[in-house]
Homo-oligomer: A and B are copies of this chain.
Amino acid sequence: MKIGILGPAGTFSETAAELWLKGKEVGKRENVEIKYYETIFDVSESLLRKEVDYGIVPIENSLEGSVGETLDVLSSENAEEMRIVGEVLVPIKICLVSQSVAKIRKVVSHPHALAQCKQFIRERLKVMIKDVEIKSVDSTASAAKLASQSEEIAALASEEAARRYGLNILEENVQDKDSVTRFVVLSSLASGIKTAPTGKDKTSVLIYLKDHPGALYDVLGEFAQRGINLTKIESRPSKRAMGDYMFHIDCEGHIEEEEIKEALKGVESKVAMLKIQGAYPMARK
């Protein structure tokens, strides 16, 4: 089995893949290969080229909100050929890591990690290290890699990344507040991978509303009237014009359950576009 994730080795995506594998019966761990890609878009492309069986990508963080690139992939043309077949919750623990503390002049990390450590940077880092330079890089893991190449660079990265790149953990849990990142597991439609109802599932859909007051209200009514709980509703630009949105909606239940099926039939009759993105077991918290 091949799994595509954001590289390099040691990102939180890798932790997500490991956690997901634990919950699955995949036989021997040696039979699993993790392949690394530069962008979330590249992960989705690798799936469609059949380079990998699954793609695991971050979709939202409990502090930072949605990952725009993933929502965009899920509403792109590629999405027609993909399904969400699972989700994983990863607790985000960020550490300040480096070779040694004495020479640090620059601290690097992924913009999301920098954002999640705003307070630590403002109140501690800028006090600890005079004129410290803060820089964004592509991932927390590549930040750790950079730190392993220069004593002047420290990284905000995972414990896992520190281990992989032989760095010291100067300070643990430097995130302003604990957070969790939700990852979705994608498979290509062509792979024929199915996710049968488990009794505790989620269904994800994408809708494009008709343009009239109350359009969203009417759609939500199809869920509310059946007592179906929405776990998420997120607007994303339709990319047509300012103020024109699509909505990503997650509800509790599996598309093969009668009630969900009927609700979505109702939704379909009221929107300009409905796309089922997948039905899959809810992640354990």
Chain A residues within 8 Å of B, Cβ to Cβ:
41, 60-66, 68-69, 71, 89, 111, 115, 118, 136-138, 177, 180, 182, 213-214, 216-218, 220-221, 223-225, 227-237, 239, 241-245, 285
A61 touches B220 (CB 8 A): no
A177 touches B239 (CB 8 A): yes
A190 to B233, CA, bound (A): 35
B231 touches A232 (CB 8 A): no
B-chain residues with CB within 8 Å of residue A62 when the two chains form the complex = 237, 239, 241-244
B65 touches A242 (CB 8 A): no
A230 touches B242 (CB 8 A): no
Oligomeric state, in number of copies? 2
Main secondary structure of the interface of A (DSSP, over half): mixed
A227 to B65, CA, bound (A): 30
A239 to B116, CA, bound (A): 11
A217 touches B220 (CB 8 A): yes
B227 touches A221 (CB 8 A): no
